Structure 1
Amino acid sequence: MKTVLISSFDMEVGGVERSLISMLDHFNYENYAVDLMLYRHQGEFLELLNKKTNLLNEIPQYTTFRKSISEVFKDKQISIGFSRIFSKIHAELVGKFKGMSEPGYYQMQLMWKYVLPFLPKLDKEYDVAISYLWPHYFVAEKVKAKKKIAWIHTDYSTIETDINLDLRMWNKFDYIAAVSEACKSSFLKKYGELENKVIVIENITSPEFIREMAKEKVDNPMMKDNRFKIVTVARLSHAKGIDNAVKALKKLKEKGYYDIAWYVVGYGGDEAMIKDLIKESKLDDSFVLLGKKTNPYPFMNETDLYVQPSRYEGKAVTVGEAQILSKPVLITNYTTAKSQVKDGFDGYITDLSITGLVSGIEKLYKSQEIRDRLINHCRNTNFSNKSQLEKLYHIVN
């Protein structure tokens, strides 16, 4: 029996975590013994883990990554705490000097670079070790395995990082698994010399599971709302463009579309900023933040239109899930958008801007015929892709 290690941060509610749950549900446990290394045993999705997956014990040093610096010092991880402070100062200085719009990714890189000497290695050797979420330094530096695979879920051409530092890490892997062809293509724009390592393994989806979960009875204010309902399921972060969604709805109201309500399922660091923006835009009664939901599918099921207003994506899990539920989908034209939907067939791609969102929503709001066409094409498409795991088994063997 082959041994497999998969590592990730935690099991908080998110698209990457949902795709990991789905992959673990469909794994061939007769041929593979799977260990899961979560840096922190935290998050609502923990209870959804397949019982055949062996969850390794927490290691104190690794639990620090999503804690505040003050919490790290309280945990008496003094060396890691000072490394975090140093990486924060370093990233802020370089970010200002280079005019980085979002230095957070660079700061995370530096954090791993500086804390690596204080992180223990795993004793066990594996046939294959998979790092499921960037940055991939744990599997690159602290795990012994015959083969190593790093998963990529986002558009790396849009992320500001130290490329040389990244390349040293990527070169520790035998394979880099992109979740779509477009995700692979955008990655290679930045790291062209890694072309021989990059393969495509799509996120594993289970239409049966999603449709069943959508039937769950939940407290859902959308069921009592007779307006035209838009839903977005996403983290409240810069990448997901929720701020642009608020601005787009404001413009739609100014154009006289008073009966549109926009519901967002999710949480994240931009929550306070988005709430302020909603208040300033006088949209308190029509742009509704529903917060974190373990099961977003009943909310998706009530929508008239699913919108993904992202600035960048690898392949948005939630868009595929909305299509599985036969909902008309509108996405912005981020770099990998054309791998996500066939424009005009099972979704609609609009310009990546506030104006683009306004015109796209306006078009689909006005045309029941277009929405019905998108719905029917989704209804007649088989979105199951369990066969993608065969690519992984082929690498392991």
Structure 2
Amino acid sequence: MKKKLLFIIPGLHMGGAEKALVNLLKKLDKEQYALHLWVFDPSGVLMHEVPKEVKIWDAGARFAQFSKGFLPSVLYWLLRFQWHLVLHRLRFTWITQRHSVNQAEQYSWKALRKFLTPPSDAFDVAIGFLEKTSIYACVDCITASKKIGFIRVDYTFLNLDKTFDAAYFQQLDYLCANGNLSEAVLLREFPSLQTRIRCVENVTFPETIWERARAEKVIDPNEITLVTVGRLEGQKGFLLALEACKILVDRGIPVRWFIIGEGSERQKLEPQIAAYQLQDHFILLGRLENPYPYMQQCSVYVQTSLYEGKSNTVNEAKILKKPIVVTDFDVVFEQITSGVNGIIVAKHPEAIAEALIEVLQSPELQQKLTSQLAQESQRYGNEIAQFTALLTP
């Protein structure tokens, strides 16, 4: 009998966890595992990459109506006299407006779950593949013999209610980080879970990354180009990147900085880009199904995150052997040795700009960084074994 696995994730947009999940689904043995995916929002650009053998569950008609927004959903249920759903929608909105983004996701969960239709099957293993909602849904909504949760960032930077999370983590068989430093944070923050915390790194396909990187020419090799890939959210530090871009342009360096990703931060970035008159220099490309040609053809790959887990995009830039400038979020020290295979700088626009000037104006430094990456043994392939070890009784 195949072991039934259910993976839970809110959506499959172009994020590190989402790409890691798709890679894992591709790599798992379909003869050994019956794979199921519960994805709340099925509109993500990575949905078409999910292997055909995976059974996909959506979140149901209630959630589809909920996702249309506050007024349309409230009016819909008012007209149908579904007062309990109106109250839960009001409660969800009230909570999200009163708390920071991450804590709002915690405290609004019990209202949100009223709109979710979970898979009707029972499973051998259920996996909440992201922090917060994915884990809460795994614990509260799914019948499974074993339950696993993933935290994919440095937990301390999320500013979450630890008491709220601990009640859910206690119900998991394993709580997984995607890097050694993130694992150490979980061990420190939740010492009572010491025997259940594991490190399971993201699945990466170097050959596929190179193949997709060669798919098209997108950048003029005569231009000075920077690329950053990530959701347009506060944690990614794009406002720092924009300020650094202004410094570079003010100093006469005609960079074109391509930002690949989408999110709520766009509404803050666009007016500031216009105010700085950087429309030709700081370019929001939105979500791209294939960001790798930009990453491979740019002058320098830049990551200005305030906090991260073990960054997929930094690993991908390493695979593509690009000069890398990255801010000093804790986990990056597991991936980059500053001055050896990349440059680590403080989370400050001036520091980011100075590092970029140093790299851009020094062919010798660029060669040193890329040569080191070419010599490094990129240790990929153990991730599947790390994951499947959790599935045994």
For 2:322 and 2:158, how far apart are their aligned partners in 1? Answer: 30
Aligned to 1:12: 13
SS of alignment partner, residue 279 of structure 1: helix
SS of alignment partner, residue 36 of structure 1: strand
Contact 2:59–2:117, Cα closer than 8 Å, also in 1: no
For 1:75 and 1:387, how far apart are their aligned partners in 2? Answer: 49
Match of 1:372 among 344, 367, 370: 367
SS of alignment partner, residue 295 of structure 1: coil
- Deviation, 1:118, is 5.5
For 1:57 and 1:66, how far apart are their aligned partners in 2? Answer: 13
- Deviation, 1:75, is 5.9
Residue 312 in structure 1 maps to residue 301 in structure 2: no
SS of alignment partner, residue 386 of structure 1: coil
Deviates more, 1:242-251 or 1:162-171: 162-171
Query: Share of identical aligned residues, percent?
Result: 26
Aligned to 1:353: 348
* Cα-to-partner distance string for 1:263-311 (whole Å, 9 max, x where unaligned): 1111111112101111111212111111210100011111010000001
Contact 2:20–2:204, Cα closer than 8 Å, also in 1: yes
Deviates more, 1:186-195 or 1:122-131: 186-195
Residue 116 in structure 1 maps to residue 113 in structure 2: yes
Contact 1:72–1:78, Cα closer than 8 Å, also in 2: no
Question: What 5-or-longer segments of structure 1 have no aligned partner?
Answer: 96-102
Aligned to 2:278: 283
For 1:43 and 1:90, how far apart are their aligned partners in 2? Answer: 26
Deviates more, 1:114-123 or 1:51-60: 114-123
Match of 1:82 among 82, 87, 92: 87
Counterpart of 1:129 in structure 2: which amino acid? A
For 2:162 and 2:96, how far apart are their aligned partners in 1? Answer: 14
Please tell me the root mean square deviation across aligned C-alpha atoms, in Å: 2.1
For 1:382 and 1:66, how far apart are their aligned partners in 2? Answer: 45
Aligned to 2:190: 191
**Mapping 1:124-139, distance limit 5 Å:** 124-135=121-132, 136-139=135-138
Question: What 5-or-longer segments of structure 2 have no aligned partner?
Answer: none
For 2:229 and 2:304, how far apart are their aligned partners in 1? Answer: 10
For 1:118 and 1:266, how far apart are their aligned partners in 2? Answer: 28
Classify 1:78/1:290 alpha carbon distance in 2 versus 1 (closer, same or farther; 3 Å): farther
* Cα-to-partner distance string for 1:307-364 (whole Å, 9 max, x where unaligned): 0000110122111111111111111001211112232222221112222212221221
Counterpart of 2:300 in structure 1: which amino acid? L
Contact 1:331–1:349, Cα closer than 8 Å, also in 2: yes
Classify 1:28/1:236 alpha carbon distance in 2 versus 1 (closer, same or farther; 3 Å): same
Aligned to 1:162: 161
For 1:64 and 1:156, how far apart are their aligned partners in 2? Answer: 32
Residue 178 in structure 1 maps to residue 177 in structure 2: yes
Contact 1:350–1:356, Cα closer than 8 Å, also in 2: yes
Counterpart of 1:245 in structure 2: which amino acid? A
- Deviation, 1:130, is 0.4
Classify 1:306/1:118 alpha carbon distance in 2 versus 1 (closer, same or farther; 3 Å): closer
